[in-house]
Amino acid sequence: MAARVNQTGYRFANFELNLRSGDLLRNNRPIHLQEKTRLLLLALVERAGETVTRSELQTRLWPNDTFVDFEDGLNTAMRKLREALGETAQNRLIETIRGRGYRFVAAVEQFKIEEEAGDEKNPVLLPVVRRGRRILIGLAAAALLMAAVAFFLARPLLFQRPISIAVLPIHNMTGDAGREYFCTGITEELIDRLGRMGGEQLRVIAPSSAYAYAKTSKSTGEIGRELDVAYLIEGNLQQEGGTYRLDMRLVRVKDQARLWSSIYDTSLKEKFAFESEVASSVTQALSLHLPELGRAIYQPDRSDAHEAYLKGLYFLSLRSKVGFENAVEDLSNAVAIDPHYADAYALLASTYNLMGQYGWMDTEQARSLGWAAAQQALSLDPAQVEAHNALGFSYWYYQWDMERAEQEFQKSLAIAPANVNAHHWYGILLMTEGRFKEADAQMRKALEYDPQSKATRTNLGWLYYYEGHYTQAVKLYQQILGESPDVLGAHYKLWYVYSMMGEKERAWQQFQWVIHSIAEPAEELRLETAYTGGGYLAALRAYTLKNDLTDFSIPRCYAFSGDQIDALDFLERAYLAHQPWLVYVPFDPAFAPLRSNPRFQRITSVTETRQNQ
């Protein structure tokens, strides 16, 4: 007979922490926790009812790392833990002991798992009392125990954490740079298929984080650790005559073992819809028995419609003016070839929305075209997630209808809880309403699935700016720009942060970087001359001479230079012209001195729907 092994777990509220598997379950549903968050929870639960000091937690979570920013790391881990536990102001499981540490205040029950060694799928649960609670003995308890055993034996996957996986960008080895779009499109579609199939059993990393490793010399282990995933999917596209060969493989990160591989040969003129086949093969290799998709995934009958869609995906991912213009052209071609292609309409809607926000299309034209494309997508497929996202974006940014915008993002998340765009844009909406805690939760949820996203990380830093956490914002922006010095949004926001901190020289450096990126050489020289003659405030006032109502930086330049009345005049004229960027104004700290002004209150009353909760 195999030896029997005893392991311990803890139950509290409607949670169960299983130390054998490391899983946290809530109502028998697994919750993903990163390693530091899991260690923090364990440290508190083990000493429930006692105060655990911050120094004790430092020793527990970072025993050998003297270089880690402990304060920031612990605050981040605690924030993620509170989010995972679903804490509210009325329902606290963890109490903060100011100046000392934390105390776990929920009642905790300890249990033991007795099992035969090597038999991980058939645990027997033996209740054990902790902290004065009596052991239940008798037939009723035995009946309950047997029922629990039967339940867990029937559903062993509940004890597993969601399996984490990333699809790395498919390598274009054809020698034809024109096939990059094909590799990008297939990568994104495969990620989409896995995300739709996996549900709560599979955590799939979003495309933008995967593309951070498009051209890297890092090993499989390094990439896996940085993305916090257990498995990677890799692929190569090669060409032999008129045939394209796609070599796909599933690799386990911890030992680089290849668990599955397959080769697909096709002509690009043929219908090429292998993504579902690959996704099914991968999930089988991971021993996941997943339900069928709730709805069929539409496949266009004509390959040229699919090819145009893949090109649109590729160009949109570039996030450049030329990329957006090419995406519009290709996606318009896709829906012209196949008028029933809902996914192409939805992507076209988001492209128009973003072009208007970036200033690369007239805002009213962008709103109108984006709205029409989203409505057409939903008429073809009412569950098209990106179309709901596009409507949510339009309601929020262009129409200032916060309630309907929130409803659309919530519809998206009800259909696809892991949708990154929904979490990200919903988080920005909440930030502009002053609902900072909710915004933080949404942005961090987006980063759970897209940890390398520069856009989401940049906007998380912007949230820090709105909250007045300037030092935290600076730290994050310096990290982003250290990785990618050309992220324009990070330079913009860092300029705002330094201005609010009174760091004029550093603010000028960021302002100068922005101007160099967006202005004509003559304009750049004019502002540098103003700075040389009168310093940072003179440069700000020189910039306002543009008097362009579409430029959201001008009222901030007035505010940063202390010209609050001029800032108010500009905001009033922008309001009369219905400039969409006014959604950012009500809670921007740059305009805090104006909030008691009746004129400012009239301007922001349309966009401001509720106060910070």
Segment 509-546, tens digit of pLDDT: 999 999 998 888 999 999 999 999 999 999 999 999 98
pTM higher than 0.75, yes or no? no
Letter for the amino acid at 428? I
Q: N- to C-terminal Cα distance for the chain?
A: 59
pLDDT, position 268:
55
DSSP letter for 582, please: G
Q: How far apart are CA 351 and CA 453, in angstroms?
A: 18
Q: Which residues of the chain have pLDDT under 50?
A: 1-6, 66-68, 115-160, 271, 291-295, 609-613
Q: How far apart are CA 12 and CA 10, in angstroms?
A: 7
Angle, in degrees to the nearest 10, between helices 342-358 and 363-380: 160
- CB-CB contact of 203 with 418 (8 Å): yes
Q: How far apart are CA 26 and CA 238, in angstroms?
A: 46
Buried b (16+ CB within 10 A) or exposed e, 313-328: bbbbbeeeeebbebbb
Mark out the alpha helices in 199-320 (DSSP H runs).
207-211, 220-227, 275-285, 303-317
Q: Which residues contact 598 (CB under 8 A, 6 or more apart)?
A: none
Q: How far apart are CA 591 and CA 99, in angstroms?
A: 33
The backbone torsions φ and ψ at residue 214, rounded to the nearest 5 degrees and listed phi first, read: -65, -40
Q: Collapsing DSSP states into helix, strand and coil, what is residue 13?
A: coil
Q: How far apart are CA 309 and CA 323, in angstroms?
A: 14
Q: Which residues contact 552 (CB under 8 A, 6 or more apart)?
A: 579, 581, 584
Neighbours of 125 (CB within 10 A): 17
**Beta bridge mates, 202:** 163
Mark out the alpha helices in 338-435 (DSSP H runs).
342-358, 363-380, 385-393, 402-415, 420-432
- CB-CB contact of 75 with 83 (8 Å): no
Q: Summarize pLDDT for 227-249 with one digit per residue, the tens.
A: 888 888 888 888 877 777 888 88
Q: Where are the beta strands (DSSP E) in 13-93?
A: 15-18, 23-26, 29-31, 51-53
pLDDT, position 377:
94
